[in-house]
Amino acid sequence: MPHFEDFYAAKLRGSLGVTDAESVLDLRGANRATAEASLKDMLERSRFAKGKTVAIRLDPPPEGGGETLFQPAGRLLLDAKRRGLIERLQTLPAQDGLGFYVALSGRSERTPM
C-alpha cells in the first residue's frame, strides 16, 4: 500500500471531523458573546503554542429555522485564516453536526517565546 501525505490521506478519507481533531471546543448552548470570546481566546492562545487541530461544535438551527452561531463564528475564523492564524478551515462532516474543523498555525519558528 503506498504512503500518502496526511493531507492527501485525509482527502481520501473524506472530511475531517471531531474524531480527527486533537481537541474539541464545544460551543453548543453558548450565547453569541460567550462563543466569540471563546473563539478569540483560542486564537490568541494559539499564537504562543505549537499548532494543533480543533473541532468547534455549534448548535443546530432551532425547529422552524432561526439564527445560529455558524455565520458569526465562520466570519471570525475566516478573518483569522486571512491573518495567518489558521492553516486549514472547513466545516464538520454532517454526521458530526454543525461546526468547523480548524488547524491552528501556532507559534512560528522565528517568533521567540
Buried b (16+ CB within 10 A) or exposed e, 1-39: eeeeeeeeebeeeeebbbeebeeebebeebeeeebbebb
Q: Which pLDDT does position 103 carry in this prediction? A: 95
Question: Which has more confidence, 16 or 71?
Answer: 71
Residue 81 clears pLDDT 50, i.e. is over it: yes
Give per-residue pLDDT as tens, 14-27: 677 898 899 999 99
Asked if the model's pLDDT at residue 1 lies above 50, the reply is no
Domains, the chain: 15-104 (3.30.1370)
Give the pLDDT confidence score for residue 3 in this predicted structure: 73
Dist. CA 63–CA 41, nearest whole Å: 31
Interval 47-63: pLDDT, tens: 999 999 999 999 998 88
